[in-house]
Chains A and B, each alone.
Chain A
Amino acid sequence: MVILEVKDIHKRFGRTEVLKGIDFTLEKGEVLSIIGSSGSGKTTLLRCLNSLEFANKGQIIVGGETIFDADINKRPSEAELRQKRLHFGLVFQNFNLFPQYSVLENVTLAPKLLKKASNEEIEQTAMELIESVGLKEKINNYPCELSGGQQQRVAIARALALKPEILCFDEPTSALDPELTGEVLKVIKSLADKHMTMIVVTHEMSFAHDVSDKVIFMDQGVIAEQGPPTILEHPATERLQNFLTSF
């Protein structure tokens, strides 16, 4: 079942066209990895999906519902926008945990403010999520007391607490020391095993190869190549070939 359809997305910043027509679809439960060099538009694409940026052209359809259509000029209201964002979760490169809240509060803040369930239920779910990312004993610690890898795992739990249909990761391990990337990738892999639909922008080629169902290689604002993870072993295009040899 197709959960996400992205049609002909174009995005310009001033005169620079960052995305020059992106099309792809994603099946429910699939993991999609987006790879490509810096400046190829990977992050901008994720930000368009999460309504942090608005594309100049194209459509985004989630589960049959068009959540973005550049042809409709009317800007969505604040409330509509918030509703649309909730289809997606986003895990940032630099975590963006709320420093003044404890680990538990970071995870429960949004569900409580959005009144997703009773406070007891929210806290119960949050505890389970925190436990599932392996941070049960850090539940009352503050972000400044955690390592980068631990912070990123809290960020994943925080995103999961809202039960998004599609969870996006924007280079989740790029800000981490190499010895900490493993623990975060392990958590993402465990989510893949539970058939969470995910889009992962990453520079970790072996991770992309092992975990994803589908790989997109972006170059200069277009999808230069896409296919199953095997394209990482046998690239069809010269551009992907060149990109992979740089690793």
Chain B
Amino acid sequence: MKKKVWIGIAVALILALLGTFIWYVYFTGYDYSMADDSSMTIGDYTVSAGADGSGTLEMKEYQNKAKGISGVQLNAEANGSSFFMWVIDGDYEIIAGNINNEVIRVKPNSDLRILAMYNDGVNAGPANVKIVFSTLNEGFVQTLKLFAVTLLGAIPLGLIISFGTMSRFKPISILMRVIVWIVRGSPLMLQLLIIFYMPGMLFGNNIWGGNEIGRFWASAVAFIINYACYFSEIFRGGIQGVPIGQHEAGQVLGLSKSQIFFKVTLMQMIKRIVPPMSNEIITLVKDTSLARIIALQEVIWAGQAFMKSSHGIHGIIWPLFTTGIYYLAFSGLLTLLFGWIEKKLDYFKV
């Protein structure tokens, strides 16, 4: 009974939060809408104001003989300041300008309906939601790319490092242990900064280049090195955790070293490392946000940009908070995946 009450309270809280969020995103701010939203013809249109003030929409024929194009030009204005965004629908083709401008030109005889127009610097409801989410999606693609590249690089490198730390040749094992200590013992954020800026400082030449691709590869290198060191310790535990008897049983059965590794010990290692690896990999999902420090345009960066200005939207903070949903959804998926793998490996015990 008590349990049910608590679940009820939790569900109510989540619904209330979600409701507040939707209300905030959709129904706050100015909302100008056209009096007439039918197909456009040349003439003056009056914009009726949603919250305060009114605006005008002017429509002129437009021709540019030099470029050989002609069409319809729409100029919009409200409260003395220009419109910043249009929400338009219909079968139209924009020749010049875009929905973020106060002036757009469209082909003649367009079936263009103006559903709403929003003022500069205003939380603009549904239209913004679309822009924000498509921007966040783009950012999250970058997050996923960094995640995938890090995994692809850090797993093999981690194996190499773990063999290094287990090497019987002392200088190598000591060197590897020192590297692992440095990388695990210092903040990843610092490592990102050092890897991105150091080459430029030392050689006067930023090998990464200042663009997004350069930032991505600098981030990828920092993440691969950092995660390889964490993985190497997990792998070492997995390798050393397989009892020596398994190896000897393979030996007395006449198996070669590689047969023993691939056919006998590997599966047992995998079973041992899946739980700690799933932990690290879920941490990696969230750690990718640290790449923001060198301005990699991942999802947090994309969300944060709306606080200043991004895609014609200014001064809103909810996109930043919304990024959390992406991380939750993705780490939830990974949790399910690793749960499934662990279950698949449940048929034997080590």
Contact = CB atoms under 8 A, between A and B. Distances in A.
Interface stretch (B60-68, B121-129, B246-254, B324-332): B246-254
A98 B254 contact: no
Nearest to B245: A96
Describe B's contact surface by its main secondary structure: helix
A52 B245 contact: no
A162 B253 contact: yes
Given A52-B251, A90-B252, A113-B255, A98 B245 contact: no
Contact of A82 (B255, B271, B347, B349): B255
A85 interface: yes
Which among B347, B348, B349 has the greatest number of chain A C-beta atoms within 10 A?
A: B348
A50 interface: yes
B202 interface: no
B264 interface: yes
10 contacts: A82-B256, A85-B251, A96-B246, A99-B268, A99-B348, A99-B349, A110-B253, A142-B348, A159-B253, A162-B253
A50 B268 CA distance: 24
Contacts of A97: 249
Given A50-B251, A113-B263, 4 more contacts: A52-B251, A82-B256, A98-B264, A109-B253
Contacts of B267: 100
B263 A78 contact: no
Contacts of A50: 251-252
A230 B83 CA distance: 110
B257 interface: yes
Interface of A: 50-52, 78-79, 82-83, 85-86, 88-90, 92, 94, 96-100, 109-110, 113-114, 142-144, 158-159, 162
B337 to A, nearest CB: 21
Nearest to B252: A90
A85 B252 contact: yes
Interface string B329-350: 0000000000000000001111
A88 B251 CA distance: 11
Contacts of A82: 254-256
Contacts, number: 61
Closest 8 CB pairs of A and B: A110-B253, A96-B249, A96-B245, A144-B349, A90-B252, A100-B267, A99-B348, A86-B254
Interface in B134-148: none
A243 B202 CA distance: 75
Given A96-B246, A99-B348, A162 B268 contact: no
B349 A114 contact: no
Which among B243, B248, B252, B350 has the greatest number of chain A C-beta atoms within 10 A?
A: B252
Given A110-B255, A162-B254, A98 B349 contact: no
Contacts of B246: 96, 98
Contacts of A98: 246, 249, 264
Contacts of A83: 254
Nearest to A84: B254
B205 interface: no
A89 B254 CA distance: 9
Given A82-B255, A98-B264, A114-B254, A52 B349 contact: no
A161 B169 CA distance: 38
Interface string B36-56: 000000000000000000000
Contacts of B259: 113
Nearest to B247: A96
Nearest to A158: B253
A51 B349 CA distance: 29
B263 A92 contact: no
Nearest to B270: A100
A97 B350 CA distance: 11
B348 A110 contact: no
A85 B250 CA distance: 11
A73 B204 CA distance: 57
Contacts of B271: 100
A85 B349 CA distance: 28
Nearest to B248: A52
Contact of A92 (B249, B254, B347, B349): B249
Nearest to A89: B252
A75 B271 CA distance: 35
Given A113-B263, A142-B347, A144-B349, A85 B254 contact: yes
A96 B263 contact: no
Contacts of B349: 99, 144
Interface in B1-41: none
A142 B271 CA distance: 15
B268 A100 contact: yes
A224 B292 CA distance: 75
A78 B254 CA distance: 10
Contacts of A100: 267-268, 271, 348
A92 B245 contact: yes
B263 A109 contact: yes
A94 B244 CA distance: 12
Nearest to B267: A100
Contacts of B257: 78
Contacts of A94: 245
A83 B256 CA distance: 10
Contacts of B255: 82, 110, 113-114
